[in-house]
Structure 1
Amino acid sequence: MSKVEEFEELRSLLFSIAYRILGGVGEAEDAVQEAWLRFDASATRPTSTKAFLSATVTRISIDVLRSARVRREQYTGPWFPEPLLSDPYEDPARAVELADSVSMAALLLLERLSPLERAVFVLREVFAFGFDDVAAAVGRSEAACRQLLVRARRHMDAGRPRFTADRGERRELATRFFDALKDGDVGGLQNLLAADVQLVGDAGGNAPQLAKAVTGAANVARLLTAVYPWLMRIGVTCEPHDVNGEPGAIFRDRDGKVLHLMVLDVLDGRIRTVRGLNNPEKLTHVGPVADAWAVARELKEARRRPTA
């Protein structure tokens, strides 16, 4: 098998590792490409191509994450990972771990870890790498990696909900949510929200957003229904779609360009977090991006016009 064929067989795994460490689609793709260049330039063939490439992409991702931390600390408003519409890597034996680890909630918890803790957690807990391969990837002893994993698990477990909804329940709840949103049904929407629900948006200063953070079922329901039915009137469409393995939707302008994404975090039969992904710089991999400022101006004008 040629180097190219070996690499292509592992590309989806490498991307999935890099994405979970970095939280960025573009950064993960760049890390995978750099791993290929190093593999291609290597004069010798490793004993295990999977181990070599996984270690290489992990080291690259750790270095990128360290520099990215500084940029994220200076980010305007709340920071969310870049949305992932589908994970290219599949492993039936690890399906639950893979799905849980790619959710927005899990990726935001991973942000609390140090780069080394994050890499060890991803390799061991999500992808079930042996401690020998984990140690080789991060350049630490197996004993040190075990300690890193203990600390990482402690941080992750402290932030995880005790109970989660099954996939069917989440999708049914999401369908009702987006129907109520389009209809402007305040009461119907409020009934689906947890009492302490949060509406949070990531625009990075590059797009308009409803608010940086709004809390409470009544407040969130009123704000959403005051805006979204009007967006539908000016040609914005709502396309239900899983985002990072969670129920969500892609909103497009009348030309089909991506305006923003929304993802719902469901717990105990209620929606506890509504996340708006509005930063156009994080949406280019989804498709052509709309001019959100122009849509906002059109929305403002539409609301000013008298209704018939």
Structure 2
Amino acid sequence: MSMSSNRPHDHDPLAPHRGRLLGLAYRMLGSRSDAEDVVQDAYFRFAGAQDVHNAEAFLVTVVTRLCLDRLKSARAQREVYVGPWLPEPVFDAESLSADAATELADDLSFALLLALDRLSPMERAAFLLHDVFDTPFSEIAAMLGRTEASCRQLASRARRAVRDNRPAPARAPDNHARLLQAFSEAVASGNVAQLAALLREDAVALTDGGGRKTAARNPIIGADKIARFFIGIAAKNAGHDMRIEPAMINGAFGALLYLDGELDNTMSMAIDGEKIAAIYIVRNPDKLRHLSSAGLH
């Protein structure tokens, strides 16, 4: 497809591919704002290219390579990141769906994104392109500049690691909502035992303040420790106007916590059957800034 100067100005050649490209970039980088930047950059490259015969393949290749470049610098930044790192929460998971007939096409959970974060950049790319976006290995090989056999090995290693590090997704959404409600009520009651009973014994809580807001510097592990931590926070905030609103965060039931009218954090969970396996709290204001554009106040 050749780019011509007389193309209508109101025609956006990126529009049919935007959700897929944003979904890929967000899963690669764990940042909605960085994903937007990458897709915009890919669009500029597409607009300046000559004789592009397959727009989607061109754009996916450019987005993948731009993400791989960004991940190199992200590794260095992560080494000096204060406390646990969590992805930027998103509230429009359906618009970032892979639109593919794969098991993981609609999974944007923090559990999956953190499992992806443990992979090498090339493993992450091969796995996402094949197992999430249903791209043939022959095309992945061309995108990554590797042999097809090498891409199969990258995806296979990644698949094992994801399986080992990602809790099974909750199959009953009503369980998620019920546990979230019970969690909020137990925190408000100040009953440590009641709260701990909702958690898996080896549950983990991660709080991301990024050095900008107070947060636990290390993962909190164990039902009792987590219960005491959250009840302690509630006690410290007793003098403030605290409001909790349910919200869909990364495609699952979660909550927004407001202090004195300002969004303080997002909370999401990984559920294992009838228990909470993990809690993810994002307080870093840099990761919450984009939420104002989603109409949250």
Q: TM-score range by the shorter chain?
A: 0.7 to 0.9
* Candidates 36, 40, 48, aligned match of 1:33: 40
Task: Give the equivalent residue in structure 1 for 2:279.
Answer: 274
| Cα separation, partners in 2 of 1:156 and 1:121, compared to 1, 3 Å | same
Residue identity opposite 1:16 in structure 2: G
For 1:26 and 1:32, locate their aligned partners in 2 and report how far apart those are by CA, in whole Å. Answer: 10
Q: Alignment partner of 1:276: what SS?
A: strand
Task: State TM-score, norm by structure 2.
Answer: 0.88
For 1:18 and 1:122, locate their aligned partners in 2 and report how far apart those are by CA, in whole Å. Answer: 10
* Candidates 21, 24, 36, aligned match of 2:28: 21
Task: Give the equivalent residue in structure 2 for 1:291.
Answer: none
For 2:269 and 2:252, locate their aligned partners in 1 and report how far apart those are by CA, in whole Å. Answer: 7
Where do 5+ consecutive residues of structure 2 fail to align?
1-6
| Cα separation, partners in 2 of 1:115 and 1:249, compared to 1, 3 Å | same
For 1:270 and 1:56, locate their aligned partners in 2 and report how far apart those are by CA, in whole Å. Answer: 41
Matches within 5 A, 1:47-196: 47-87=53-93, 88-90=95-97, 94=101, 96-100=103-107, 102-161=108-167, 164-196=170-202
Q: Alignment partner of 1:275: what SS?
A: strand
**Within the alignment, does 1:261 sit opposite 2:246 as a pair?**
no
Where do 5+ consecutive residues of structure 1 fail to align?
289-308
> Aligned pairs, how many?
285
Which 4+ runs in 1 deviate beyond 4 A? 1-4, 162-165
Q: Deviations over 1:21-43 (max 9, x none)?
A: 11111111110010000001113
Task: State TM-score, norm by structure 1.
Answer: 0.85
Q: What displacement does 1:230 show?
A: 5.4
Q: Deviations over 1:68-106 (max 9, x none)?
A: 111112211111111122221346654741333x21111
| Cα separation, partners in 2 of 1:54 and 1:92, compared to 1, 3 Å | closer
Task: Give the equivalent residue in structure 2 for 1:297.
Answer: none
Identity %: 35
Contact 1:15 1:29 in 2 (8 A): yes
Task: Give the equivalent residue in structure 2 for 1:306.
Answer: none
For 2:98 and 2:125, locate their aligned partners in 1 and report how far apart those are by CA, in whole Å. Answer: 19
For 1:123 and 1:173, locate their aligned partners in 2 and report how far apart those are by CA, in whole Å. Answer: 33
For 2:269 and 2:256, locate their aligned partners in 1 and report how far apart those are by CA, in whole Å. Answer: 12
| Cα separation, partners in 2 of 1:232 and 1:265, compared to 1, 3 Å | farther
The structure whose residues are more often helix, as a share, is 1
**Aligned-pair RMSD on alpha carbons?**
2.2
For 2:251 and 2:73, locate their aligned partners in 1 and report how far apart those are by CA, in whole Å. Answer: 27
Contact 2:192 2:227 in 1 (8 A): yes
